[in-house]
Amino acid sequence: MTAAPLSARHNQLVRAACERLERDDAVDLATLAADANLSPWHFQRLFKSQTGLTPKQYASARRHQSIQGALKQHARVSDGILEAGFGNPSGFYEQGAKRLGMSPTSFKQGGKDVEIRFGIAQCTLGALLVARTEIGICDIRMGDDAETLVHAFQDVFPNAVLLGGDEAFDTWIAKIVGLIEEPSAALDLPLDIRGTAFQERVWRALMQIPPGTTATYAEIAERIGRPSSVRAVANACGANKIAVAIPCHRVVRSDGSLSGYRWGVDRKRALLLKEAALSAS
């Protein structure tokens, strides 16, 4: 069997396992391995090389993803937690609040009583929204107009205590604008980074890419010790909510071409051109 068909076969096995976990996240490793006709050890190694997660971690991530929708659909928080696949509410409270950045009840109520300070600015790339929690910067997004950015942000937490900018936070926003316009400047602001363990490893690796340079998805996968997880690295880049401060725009395809960017490929290109120009000067 040649390498290409074997790789395709491995992709099929992992895809089938992911689909089964999405239908039933309680299925165990032994069952998944038997379906793939592999030993549990070999299957877990294969699965992790393709996704960056073990099957158990993948199932947990899926439950945390579904809890956000389930909490909004149920009148009782406990019903939403149980529908999302947690055996009992305490299991979610032990892990879930950290992922949501608040208690399940607060998320269910659209972020009720949670304080998030945000502000709008203009830069050469368009409108810019910056938001922070008590921990640090939690959201940086770019768009064509401020109103659309604000509406999208408010839709996530309609009942949060959204605070406008004060003098101190305006200084933070100015630093973000400065990072866009003069990307060689260091950002000395705290970040509220929330993601899976794998995503956070990717994001921290992105922060090590110097301005004026780029890295490929494969190179990032190598740097975090997951050389077979190129696709998972790309997905983690796409999940980044803190634009520019976590510079996912510095990651390119293996041939150097630009791939998708959450805030538009034109903005990605503009950021890279700014950084290249400053690096050359």
Name the CATH architecture for the domain at 115-181: 2-Layer Sandwich (3.30)
Active-site residue, from 18, 138, 237, 248: 248
Bridge partners of residue 116, in order along the sequence: 162
Helix, strand, or coil (residue 156):
helix
Residue 123 structure tokens = 């830069």
Residue 82 near residue 75 (C-beta atoms within 8 A) = no
Q: What is the pLDDT of residues 150-170, one digit of tens each?
A: 888 888 777 777 888 788 889
Q: Count of CB atoms within 10 A of residue 139's CB?
A: 18
Domain with CATH 1.10.10.10 in the chain: 197-280
Mean pLDDT to the nearest integer, 53-82: 54
Cα–Cα distance, 10 to 46 (Å, whole number): 7
Catalytic site includes residue 123: no
- Its CATH class, for the domain covering 3-108, is mainly alpha
Domain with CATH 3.30.160.70 in the chain: 115-181
Q: Which of 117, 109, 100, 107 is nearest to 168 (CA)?
A: 117
φ, ψ dihedrals at 139, nearest 5°: -155, 130
Mean pLDDT of the chain: 79
Name the CATH architecture for the domain at 197-280: Orthogonal Bundle (1.10)
Q: What is the pLDDT of residues 27-62, one digit of tens each?
A: 899 999 999 999 999 998 888 777 667 788 777 666
Mean pLDDT to the nearest integer, 193-204: 86
Is residue 107's pLDDT more than 90? no
Residue 224 near residue 201 (C-beta atoms within 8 A) = yes
Among 89-93, 196-200, 235-239, 267-271, where is mean pLDDT lowest? 89-93
- In this structure, what DSSP letter does residue 229 have? -
Cα–Cα distance, 49 to 55 (Å, whole number): 11
Whether the pTM exceeds 0.85: the reply is no
pLDDT at 48: 79
Buried b (16+ CB within 10 A) or exposed e, 239-248: ebbbbbbbbb
Domain with CATH 1.10.10.60 in the chain: 3-108
Cα–Cα distance, 215 to 143 (Å, whole number): 25
